[in-house]
Structure 1
Amino acid sequence: MSKSTDAECFRIDESGYTGYDILNSDQRFQGASAVAISDEEAARLIKEYFPRLQAPELKYRSLSRRKSNHQRLLSLQRDLLTQYKSVTYICDKHYLLVLMFVDYAVEPFYYERGMNFYADGQNYAMASLLTLAGPSLLGQPAFDNLLIAFQNAVKEKTPPALKTLVKAARATQWSEFPEALGPLAQFAAPECLKALANPGVDTDAALVVLQSLISRMEVMSDGPYRVEHDQSKNLLRYNELLQRFIDHDQDIEFRQTQIASIKFPLKLTEVTQVDSKASPAVQLADVMIGAAIEAANNMTGLRSGGLDPEILMSLYAENQFIHLMPSIDFEEQRRFREGTQASEVIDYFAANFFGPPKV
């Protein structure tokens, strides 16, 4: 497809992608940033804030190691966030995996019994409680083994892997939280095992990240727009999914939260890969997501160093930063997700975007 040079262009970069293995302990957070800026404007900003840059491209990780760069990095981000359309998404992959467990290893049990498990964000509340209290309620090693078995069962989709998952659920102190663990531990619920074996179900977080970015880009764009991103191996998965989104021409809309919805067909018309060394705009997307991931690690005590996370977060407007983190403020969760179409979204995306491409 030829490039539509007159269409608005968002440059995207990601961080923390580990494929199906979202329990990877070295990369707890995954996310991506999108910013609508031209390469010419991006080059001007880079030259303004880093006039002595010798490296072939601007890389956040390298720059943040030096304290002398911190104020320039913050000022650069302030300019990006106040002068250009942008959105950044971050998720706690551990929490996301627990949320997936709730969606596929718990919810089908309640659906079969006529209960709307997704009403007002009940799945998010249960996943938050499991993430934060699971180790103490269910036993630390047993809870960890349960998540490993779940991730493997979703990947393998074989009877032995599913049987191992049931055994792992039974090895926990599941009676302390039977609402969540009972379907597997007590009943080995066939409806849950069937959901896990569905080819359209996986634990790759890329689709979750892109859903959130697209929901904002669609709102920010006045008309058709395109996306450019780096040629990295990790972004091949993002590229594939973005193309699936573009090609999906069914007329349908879903309400995801009080502030987010997604409607097909999208205004997104094209996705292309570029060499980040030749794209100052993609380099700035790298700065944005790199800083956000670093801030998440610092604020949760996993790492230290780099920019002051509180100062960085204060630069964002409310609609510029989306996060998926566990929360025990259940009333706030209920208000935020009241009346959403969570069940329909999960079923629709599993059928149309997860799994291997349709031929």
Structure 2
Amino acid sequence: MVCFRIDESGYTGFDLLNSEQRFQGATAIAIEDDDAAALIRHHFPRLQAPELKYSSVSRRPSNHRPLLALLRDLLSEYKSVTYVCDKRFLLTLMFLEYAAEPYYYERGTNFYQHGQNFTLGSILFQAGPRLLGEGRLQKLMTAFQRAMKEKSPAALHDLVDAARRTKWRELPEALGPIANGAPECLEAIATPGVTTDAAMVVLQALISRMEVMSGGPYRVEHDQSKNLETYHHLIEKLIAHDAEVEFRSSEIATLKFPLKMTGVVQVNSVASPAVQLADVLVGATLETANTLARLRKGGLDPEQVIPLYGEDQIIYLAPSMDVAEQRRFRAGSQGAEMIDYFAANFGSTT
């Protein structure tokens, strides 16, 4: 049976505005421990540490060449997928999901049809800082994140106030509902269990690809880190769900239950070379994202890393102003149905 090893990076729970961790990502790779150990010995024969950690070995420029060679071998020889997202853009999409969509739903409008939510989110993310007033969008997102966490009357009041303090009439489609205190939006934000934690979003992306790559039943192993405990419990819930249902998110993403995944196990990464290589893949991807965003420097050269990935090996969530392309790519999206289903069955939404 195929076994995918998973590792994550950049997870900050509900805090998607964390200034030190702009991006969040996760990798799933189908590789056995024996093959992984052989690759580590081949590319890092002098490794003295008990395990290969990307954050440690990437600090030395002398390790960049073997790291690139290792990435090349992994991406050319083994099934894998890596998901990476700009957490601030994801928070923007969540804002629209809770602070705008319920308003449109009550009036019979499918907010997700043809990716309208994604297009509006891209406009808000890209043009919002200029349209809404200096620093106002940041304050609005801070207030939204707090309201989603605390769910108190005071936090909800501050959210509405933050929206009204922007030039919200410049983009009323996105900010009008919450600026006017739409009760259905405030109720959605105050709903127990809904959160800005991105773990479920990341898992859905990985699972949709693993379901395709596996070709049949498969299992998952991941590290025993505290962050991955959240992923572990979510995966267990998804595996146990035996209803027959399928959702389409985009041209390349569908999710069908029951899953082909049969089990998930936590392992000690020191004893799992395969999990260590999942760490290398996700670490290199997030470092590349940070370098391209000019948030960090001195790491691997993005121009050498990016060409190593096949089109089906990378999933990224970032804003796009190509409205026509996004409409084509997300035509037939069942985003609204999937969000309702996940809320009803897993106590969380996408």
Using structure 1 for the length normalisation, give the TM-score.
0.95
Matched, 1:160 2:149: no
**Percent identity for Structure 1 against Structure 2:** 65
User: What one-letter code is carried by the residue in structure 2 that aligns with 1:289?
Assistant: V
Alpha-carbon distance change, 355 to 124 in structure 1, aligned in 2, over 3 angstroms: closer
User: What one-letter code is carried by the residue in structure 2 that aligns with 1:116?
Assistant: N
Matched, 1:146 2:146: no
Output the CA distance in 1 between the equivalents of 2:62 and 2:220.
Answer: 33
> Per-residue CA shift, 1:106-138, capped at 9, x if unaligned?
111111122222111010011111111111111
Unpaired runs of 5+ in structure 1? 1-6
- Deviating more after overlay: 170-179 vs 192-201: 192-201
> Per-residue CA shift, 1:26-47, capped at 9, x if unaligned?
0000010010000000000000
Output the CA distance in 2 between the equivalents of 1:348 and 1:131.
Answer: 27
Q: Secondary structure at the match of 1:242?
A: helix
> Per-residue CA shift, 1:133-175, capped at 9, x if unaligned?
1111112322111101111111112222111111110011111
Output the CA distance in 2 between the equivalents of 1:181 and 1:119.
Answer: 19
Give yes or no for contact 1:134–1:140 (8 Å, CA) kept in 2: no
Output the CA distance in 2 between the equivalents of 1:270 and 1:100.
Answer: 30
User: What is the aligned partner in structure 1 of residue 191 from structure 2?
Assistant: 198
Matched, 1:349 2:342: yes
> Per-residue CA shift, 1:287-345, capped at 9, x if unaligned?
00000000000111111111111221111110110000011111111111011101011
User: What one-letter code is carried by the residue in structure 1 that aligns with 2:213?
Assistant: M
Matched, 1:274 2:267: yes
Give yes or no for contact 2:13–2:198 (8 Å, CA) kept in 1: yes
Q: Secondary structure at the match of 2:135?
A: helix
Output the CA distance in 1 between the equivalents of 2:265 and 2:61.
Answer: 35
User: What one-letter code is carried by the residue in structure 2 that aligns with 1:10?
Assistant: F
> Per-residue CA shift, 1:58-103, capped at 9, x if unaligned?
0111111111111211111111111111000001000000000011
User: What one-letter code is carried by the residue in structure 2 that aligns with 1:8?
Assistant: V
Matched, 1:170 2:164: yes
Matched, 1:103 2:100: no
What does 1:223-262 correspond to in 2, within 5 Å? 223-262=216-255
User: What is the aligned partner in structure 1 of residue 54 from structure 2?
Assistant: 60
1:20 equivalent among 14, 32, 36: 14
Matched, 1:285 2:278: yes
Using structure 2 for the length normalisation, give the TM-score.
0.98
Matched, 1:70 2:64: yes
User: What is the aligned partner in structure 2 of residue 209 from structure 1?
Assistant: 202
Give yes or no for contact 2:342–2:348 (8 Å, CA) kept in 1: no
User: What is the aligned partner in structure 2 of residue 265 from structure 1?
Assistant: 258
User: What is the aligned partner in structure 1 of residue 109 from structure 2?
Assistant: 115
Give yes or no for contact 2:14–2:195 (8 Å, CA) kept in 1: yes
Output the CA distance in 1 between the equivalents of 2:134 and 2:72.
Answer: 41
Give yes or no for contact 2:33–2:272 (8 Å, CA) kept in 1: yes
Q: Secondary structure at the match of 1:281?
A: helix
Give yes or no for contact 1:42–1:280 (8 Å, CA) kept in 2: yes
Deviation at 1:355, TM superposition (A): 5.0
Deviation at 1:283, TM superposition (A): 0.3
Output the CA distance in 2 between the equivalents of 1:213 and 1:46.
Answer: 24
User: What is the aligned partner in structure 2 of residue 183 from structure 1?
Assistant: 177
Q: Secondary structure at the match of 1:30?
A: strand
Give yes or no for contact 1:8–1:36 (8 Å, CA) kept in 2: yes
Deviation at 1:354, TM superposition (A): 3.6
Q: Secondary structure at the match of 1:56?
A: coil
Give yes or no for contact 1:258–1:338 (8 Å, CA) kept in 2: yes
Unpaired runs of 5+ in structure 2? none
